[in-house]
Amino acid sequence: MTDWKKIQENWPVNRELIWLNNCGTTPAGSHIVQAVNLFMEGYARKGLLTDVAEYADVKQRIKKILAELLRCHPEELALIHNTSEGMNHISHGLNLKSGDEIILLENEYPSNVYPWQHWEEKGVLLKTAPMRKNPEAFYQELQPLMTEKTKVISMSAVHWCTGMPLPLERMGKHCREKGILFVVDGAQGVGMQPLDMKKMGIDAMAFSAWKWLMGPLGMGILYISKEKLPEIRPIFVGTESVVRDREYLPYKKELKAGADRFTISTSDFINWVYFLASLEYLRNIGFDAVRERIFELNSYLQERLRMIGFRLLSDEFPDYPTGISVCEKQDLSSDMLVKRLQEEKIIAAERLGRIRLSPHIYLSRHQLDEAVRGLSQAGMAQLYSRAVKGG
């Protein structure tokens, strides 16, 4: 049985803050600090000859764990820097023509919008699927947008402003039937939602490491299925894009067989060490157990928020568990509440005029109680201040 109290003690942030923005960024646990320090000490002594961590070995271990999590092959994964980079690889690598159509999501995170906008200059139509209150209503709105001209659908696994998981499996099945490339921004989903690349028919996906997987800022992952790899041409080619990349001369034209061709060149290896430590920690707990704990904590948080009169968007999709609570209360400014919470060392986010809270495994119910109490007090203070000014 997992000792959650011991896990809570492993996160120094708990001595300073109640961090409830884990779908934004996650603080590092002590195991990360130890792993990175150990590598840096070895690197300081022996440089690249250190036996603490070896480049190719760390890469393969990261990809192996991620492949198990995503139900894909390690060769379908590339280690990159962020979601935007991955989406640009996918978008710029496609061969679309004037008159084709791409469907994106309303109020989507910019990482899954800006990389597609260059197609408008080439006569490709960008459509926007309206966000609805629940996955079923969303899917019903999405279907009529798909035509024989639709070549790409690119959507987030979970909407960053509402916490709502999208019906990826139904969407992937429809895309397969219609010959549409199905692309997913997995930043808000990987590590929090169960994602199966093959079962869900996901052709390509990019995501950041620093959210639910608790990895480092500045590291991302690109997935391209082996079936679709020939359709996505690398725009950038570097030392590590080609076969036998450690053999610098003679130059080569043959690209690596897998998604590694998109890694391009030497990466931030310290981030790899950081990320591997995080993935191994989560795997040792069990990714299913991690997910269940996130859902359990978030369910408890939502229950407490309802008790103080906040409306939760997730009440519109109760059959779709999520680790993100998005809430609001009439007559209260969410932006002001978030700022007041931060003054009390409780970290949340404001999105589309609502409060977004996202717990992770290192938090306790007691901390969630403290956060809800702080939110309640902030709300009363705001109403009192308004009454005084109005009086």
Averaged over successive runs of 10 residues, the pLDDT of the chain (391 residues) comes to: 96 98 98 98 95 95 98 98 98 98 97 98 98 96 96 98 97 96 98 98 98 98 97 96 95 96 93 98 98 98 98 97 97 97 98 98 98 96 84 50
Distance of CA 78 to the CA centre of its chain: 16
Rounded Cα distance, 236 and 225, in Å? 19
State the amino acid at position 160 in one-letter form.
Answer: W
End-to-end CA, the chain: 56
Regarding pTM above 0.85, the answer is yes
Query: Are the beta carbons of 179 and 173 closer than 8 angstroms?
Result: no
Percent of the chain as helix, strand, coil, to the nearest 5? 45, 15, 40
- Three-class DSSP category at 56: helix
**Backbone dihedral angles phi then psi of residue 204, each to the nearest 5 degrees:** -155, 150
CATH 3.40.50.970 for domain 53-283: no
**Backbone dihedral angles phi then psi of residue 116, each to the nearest 5 degrees:** -100, -15
Which residue in 305, 291, 287, 294 sits closest to 371, CA to CA? 305
Domain with CATH 3.90.1150.10 in the chain: 4-29+286-390
- Three-class DSSP category at 27: coil
CA dist list (Å): 353 to 204, 325, 338: 32, 14, 11
Strands 204-208 vs 220-224: parallel, antiparallel or unpaired:
antiparallel
The architecture of the domain spanning 4-29+286-390 is Alpha-Beta Complex (3.90)
pLDDT at residue number 386: 82
pLDDT at residue number 58: 97
pLDDT at residue number 388: 84
Domain with CATH 3.40.640.10 in the chain: 53-283
Q: Is the dihedral of CA 178, 183, 188, 191 positive or negative?
A: positive
pLDDT at residue number 84: 98
pLDDT at residue number 385: 85
Distance of CA 367 to the CA centre of its chain: 24
pLDDT at residue number 389: 79
Rounded Cα distance, 132 and 141, in Å? 8
pLDDT at residue number 329: 97
Which residue in 327, 324, 339 sits closest to 382, CA to CA? 339
Distance of CA 275 to the CA centre of its chain: 14
Distance of CA 136 to the CA centre of its chain: 22
- The token pair at 352 is 């589309």
